[in-house]
């Protein structure tokens, strides 16, 4: 039986080497000898060539994202950075664009959580809020109203009843008004999902309103009317409070976005993801492992660099 050669790099190690070299070659600091060395490197074996093609595709895929389109690269430096630091700089560049693209309200929010952090809050009227990972909100209370601005992320509300002071959550130009209830508002970019565990919530967006009863949910996008209501799985909806994510046949692209909330740095999805459904339970205490598990069970290729996670359709990668 042929034993593995311990000196032969694994496919993952080859991919890391290819990514580091490709970032350096694209940095503006590479010489002709650097390009020649990379051509020789990729010719060493079919595995080297496959890793080189993956690095090239990944680079071009990132360039097509909105984040990369808005990024202005720095002027080339006279001294090239070491390869590993070049890869780190690329990840931080994308992260910087992602963070700078957030509304200033995120930095001025009354309450916020870091990636991986969850927090329980008690408001002045006794209402309770559970703030999910990478989330932010501000509180605007008056003698006649209780307004909450959900600026980023997800929050679960347990509202103290007070008909004289409506409790209204604002997100993406829409509102969710509680009538003494427990409900969740999940804001991902400009898409909002509202789910009700107890009581009744009236959701208004795009000039139209919809009523949510217990164990119902709906979505709305900024400026558009609410969707039709559909059943809400109460067990999976509140699982993040217990440190779990539970998916029951959720679309893959939604699962990737949800998991990305718990991973530090920028999440970049290149190309169209497969239209598959995901079912499973994930532990929120290890975001990187969640993506590794997803890559093993779904047709995805995931590359995790410092402060940057790239997600690609595995089938499109293999076709190259």
The pLDDT of residue 110 is above 60: yes
**118 — pLDDT class (breaks 50, 70, 90):** very high
| Residue 206 confidence (pLDDT) | 95
| Residue 98 confidence (pLDDT) | 46
Q: In 64-212, where does DSSP find H-type helix?
A: 66-69, 83-100, 104-107
**58 — pLDDT class (breaks 50, 70, 90):** low
- Asked whether 42 and 35 are in contact (CB, 8 A), the reply is no
**4 — pLDDT class (breaks 50, 70, 90):** very low
The pLDDT of residue 154 is above 60: yes
Which has the higher per-residue pLDDT, 25 or 60? 25
| Residues 290-304 pLDDT 10s | 888 888 888 888 887
Q: Can you tell me the mean pLDDT for 67-85?
A: 43
Which has the higher per-residue pLDDT, 192 or 23? 192
| Residue 102 confidence (pLDDT) | 52
The DSSP letter of residue 4 is P
Where is average pLDDT lowest: 63-77, 92-106, 249-263? 63-77
| CATH number for domain 104-237, candidates 2.60.120.380, 2.60.120.1440, 1.10.3720.10, 3.40.50.80 | 2.60.120.1440
| Residues 214-248 pLDDT 10s | 999 999 999 999 999 999 988 788 789 888 888 88
The pLDDT of residue 133 is above 60: yes
- Mean pLDDT value across the chain: 81
- Asked whether 151 and 106 are in contact (CB, 8 A), the reply is yes
pTM recorded for the entire structure: 0.68
Distances (CA, A) of 148 to 30, 190, 220: 51, 17, 18
The pLDDT of residue 208 is above 90: yes
Q: Give the Cα separation of 124 and 184 in Å (integer).
A: 19
Q: Where are the domains of the chain?
A: 11-100, 104-237, 243-319
b/e for 100-123, b at 16 or more Cβ within 10 A?
eeeeeebeebebbbeeeebeeeeb
Q: Decide the pairing of beta strands 182-188 and 146-158.
A: antiparallel
Q: Can you tell me the mean pLDDT for 303-315?
A: 79
Q: Decide the pairing of beta strands 191-198 and 300-305.
A: unpaired
Class level of CATH domain 243-319: alpha beta
Cβ within 8 Å of residue 236, ≥6 positions away? 246, 247, 248
| Residue 82 confidence (pLDDT) | 46
The pLDDT of residue 288 is above 80: no
> Percentage of the chain surpassing pLDDT 70?
78
């Amino acid at each position: 039986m042929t034993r593995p050669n311990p000196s032969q790099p694994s496919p993952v190690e080859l991919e890391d080497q290819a990514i580091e070299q490709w970032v350096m070659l694209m940095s503006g600091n590479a010489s002709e000898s650097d390009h020649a060395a990379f051509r020789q490197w990729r010719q060493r074996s079919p595995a080297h060539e496959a890793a080189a093609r993956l690095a090239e595709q990944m680079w071009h895929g990132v360039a097509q994202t909105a984040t990369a389109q808005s990024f202005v690269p720095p002027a080339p430096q006279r001294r090239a950075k070491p390869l590993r630091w070049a890869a780190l700089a690329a990840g931080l560049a994308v992260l910087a664009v992602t963070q700078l693209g957030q509304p200033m309200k995120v930095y001025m929010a009354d309450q916020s959580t870091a990636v991986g952090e969850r927090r329980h809050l008690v408001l002045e009227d006794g209402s309770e809020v559970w703030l999910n990972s990478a989330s932010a909100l501000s509180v605007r209370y008056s003698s006649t109203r209780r307004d909450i601005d959900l600026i980023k992320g997800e929050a679960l509300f347990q509202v103290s009843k007070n008909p004289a002071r409506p409790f209204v959550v604002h997100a993406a130009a829409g509102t969710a008004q509680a009538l003494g209830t427990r409900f969740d508002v999940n804001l991902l970019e400009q898409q909002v999902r509202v789910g009700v565990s107890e009581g009744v919530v009236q959701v208004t967006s795009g000039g139209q309103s919809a009523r949510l009863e217990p164990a119902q949910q709906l979505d709305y996008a900024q400026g558009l009317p609410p969707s039709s209501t559909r059943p809400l799985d109460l067990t999976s909806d509140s699982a993040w409070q217990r440190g779990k994510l539970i998916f029951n046949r959720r679309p893959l692209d939604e699962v990737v976005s949800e998991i990305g909330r718990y991973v530090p740095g920028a999440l970049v999805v290149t190309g169209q993801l497969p239209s598959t459904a995901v079912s499973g339970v994930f532990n929120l205490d290890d975001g990187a492992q969640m993506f590794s598990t997803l890559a093993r069970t779904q047709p995805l290729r995931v590359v995790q660099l410092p402060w940057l996670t790239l997600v690609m359709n595995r089938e499109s990668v293999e076709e190259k």
